[in-house]
Amino acid sequence: MKSHNTNDQKEEIIFYGLPASPGVSHGPAFRFLHSNVEVLQYQVEESDHESEIERFKEALKLTQSQIRQIREDVAKNLSEKEASIFDAHLLVLEDKALIDDVVNEIQNSGDNVEQCVDRVTRKYMDFFNKLEDEYLRERSSDLKDISKRLLRNLVGATAAGTAFLDEPKVLVSEDLSPSDTASLDRSKILGIATDTGGMTSHAVIMARASSVPAVVGLRGLTERIKEGDSLLIDGFDGVAIINPKETTLFRYGKVNVRRKKIENLLVEESKLPAQTKDLQAINLLANADSQEEVELGIQNDCQGIGLFRTESIFLRKNQIPSEDEQYIEYAKIVDAAQGRFVTIRTLDIGGDKVLSGVSNADEQNPFMGFRAIRYCLRNPDVFLDQLRAILRASAHGPIRLMFPMISGIGEVIRAKEFLNTAKKQLTENGVIFDQDIKVGCMIETPSAVMIADMLADEVDFFSVGTNDLVQYLLAVDRVNNQIAYLYEPHHPAVIRSLKAIFDAGKKKNIPVSVCGEIAGDPHFLPLLLGLGVGSISASSPLLPELKFFARRFSMEEAIKFSKKLSLMRRPYEIKEAMNIFHEERVSKIIA
C-alpha cells in the first residue's frame, strides 16, 4: 500500500492484491458490509421442542427455495457452469448429518432454534477453517452464507443488496458470499474489490463470468475507504487506488482506449489465418469443460480441442456419473467439435477440485496427494467406466485420450493396461470404437520433465500443464494468496523445463502442446514458439488475441527472442523483456 498527498484533492492510496477479473473501472465506492444477524438465546419448554424443530424445517424449505431461485437467475443471466456453484449449497441444506445435529441440539440443550443453528453451523465452519488447503477453507464461506440466510429466515430479517443504489458504483467488501454475489444488480456494479479471497473464491468466478473487473486480497481496503471516496480497480495487475489523481486517471484512461482499439482489431482480423508475420502456421487449440465452450472454440477458429476437463462433469453432478451418463456427455462434446479432434483428459480430481465422497479433506497437502491418475489407478471401477465411455464416444469423431499428473513410467504403463482392458471389454460386447485411439500424458511434474524422453516412448503426444508445473517446480501453492507473489511463470526454471520438454518431443517425433495459463497469455507466445512448441491450447475467448499478436512478429524473431530470454537470470527481467517485445509490436498499430 502506498499513499500520495496533494493539496488540491483527497489522498491517493494504492493497494496491491491479486488480479481476479480483467478490466479497469473507476467510480464512487460502495461499502458492502455484512450485517450480522442478531441471535438471541432463550430456553424453550420441552413441550415446545417439536414446534422449534418444525420452525427449523420450514426455514430450511424457504432457504432451499431462495437458493433455487438464485440458481435459476444465475443460469439464465450467466451460464449453467456458474449456476452449479449453488448445487453445493442445496446439498448442504439436505445434509442429514447437519439437520440431525441441529435437531439433537434443540432437544438436548433446550435452547431456541436460532441459537442451535448458529452453534452447530459454527462448529462445522471451525472444522473447515482449520484445514490447511485454501480451497477447502473457502468452502467454509459457503456454510457461512447458508447459515446467515437460514438465520435471517428464522428471525424474519431481509438481506442487504445493491438494488437501492442510485448510480453504478465500485463495490468494496471484506468478502462476498456466493448468494451475495449472485444477488447483486450487475447494472449497478462497476467493479469488485475485496479484502480477502483467493483465485478460487466465488466472487472471482462470478466477476469473470459477468465481465466485471475485480481485485481480491486487498487487505485493509474496507478499513481505509470512506463514504464519498472514489475507487479505481485494475483487474489486469491486481491494483486498487482510492481517490486516484488526475494523472493516474489519465494513465488508466489511455489503457482503456488502447484496449478498445485492440478489441476492434481482433474483430477485423478474426477470420485471418493463425500464422506469424513470415507466414509460419500456428496450431491454436481450445480448452473446454462444457459443450458451450467447445462451440465457442469452433466459432473462434480453433483447430481442435486441446484439453477437455472431464472432472467438470463429475463436479457438476457432485458425484461419480455412470458409464452411460459419461458417454452421453462425451458424445455431445465430440459432435460439437464438428470433426475436429477432442483431447479428453481422464479424471483429474483432488488438489483444488473437491468431489464429495471422493476427495480426501484430511490430506495436509492435497496438491501433492491422492489425486488425478493416482486416484484412478486405485479405483479400477471408476477408471474403467470412464475409459469405456470415452472409447464409445470415439465412434462419433476423433478423440485423443490423455492421462494427468504423470510422475513415472509405471503410471503410464498401468493406465494403458486399464485402457486395453476397457477395449477388450467393449470388443467382447460388439461395441464400435476407435481401436487406434491416440494416447498422451500431461507433463506437469518435475519428474515428468526429467524423464520426458522415456515417457515419449510410451505415448503419442505430450501436453504441458503449466499451472501445476510452475507450482511444483517452485514449491508454491498456487491457490495460497499469502505466497502468490512467489508463483512466477517467468522463472528461468520454467523456461528451461519447457525447452527440455519440447526438445524431447522433437527428438522422439511426438507433438507437444501447452495448455496451462501461460498458453493464453500473448506475452508468452513468442517464447513458446521460439522454444519449439507444437500447438497452443487456451481458453476460447483468448484465441483471437493470440492470433492477432502472432501476426506481429516472425518466427525468426521468436527464436532469437527465446534465446535471449534463456540467458536471463531474474524473473522480473524476463517479464519486462516480454512486455517490451509485446509493446513494441502492438503500439505501432494502435498508436
Distance from C-alpha of 591 to C-alpha of 581, rounded to nearest angstrom: 16
- Is 116 in the active site? no
Contact 530, 561 (CB under 8 A): yes
Distance from C-alpha of 441 to C-alpha of 346, rounded to nearest angstrom: 10
Residue 304 parent element (H or E): none
Q: Among all chains, which residue has been given the C-alpha cell 509493446?
A: 583
Residue 357 parent element (H or E): none
- Is 202 in the active site? yes
Contact 285, 54 (CB under 8 A): no
Among 462, 461, 444, 433, which residue's Cα sits nearest to residue 348?
A: 444
> Which DSSP string corresponds to 200-231?
TSHHHHHHHHHT--EEE--TTHHHH--TT-EE
Distance from C-alpha of 517 to C-alpha of 33, rounded to nearest angstrom: 33
Distance from C-alpha of 303 to C-alpha of 337, rounded to nearest angstrom: 9
Strand 284-288 versus strand 305-309 pairing type? parallel
Q: Among all chains, which residue has been given the C-alpha cell 522480473?
A: 572
Among 249, 221, 207, which residue's Cα sits nearest to residue 17?
A: 221
Give, as one character, the DSSP assignment of residue 482. Answer: T
Catalytic option among 89, 441, 515, 582: 515
CB neighbours (10 Å) of residue 36? 8
Longest dimension (CA), the chain: 85
Distance from C-alpha of 290 to C-alpha of 307, rounded to nearest angstrom: 11
Q: Among all chains, which residue has been given the C-alpha cell 460388439?
A: 430
Contact 347, 376 (CB under 8 A): yes
Q: Which amino acid is at 463?
A: S
Task: Find how far residue 383's CA is from the centre of its chain.
Answer: 24
Among 160, 173, 163, 161, which residue's Cα sits nearest to residue 225?
A: 173
Catalytic option among 26, 202, 490, 491: 202
Distance from C-alpha of 216 to C-alpha of 194, rounded to nearest angstrom: 5
Give, as one character, the DSSP assignment of residue 436. Answer: T
CB neighbours (10 Å) of residue 379? 15
Which SS3 state, helix, strand or coil, does residue 41 take? Answer: coil
Active site residues: 202, 515
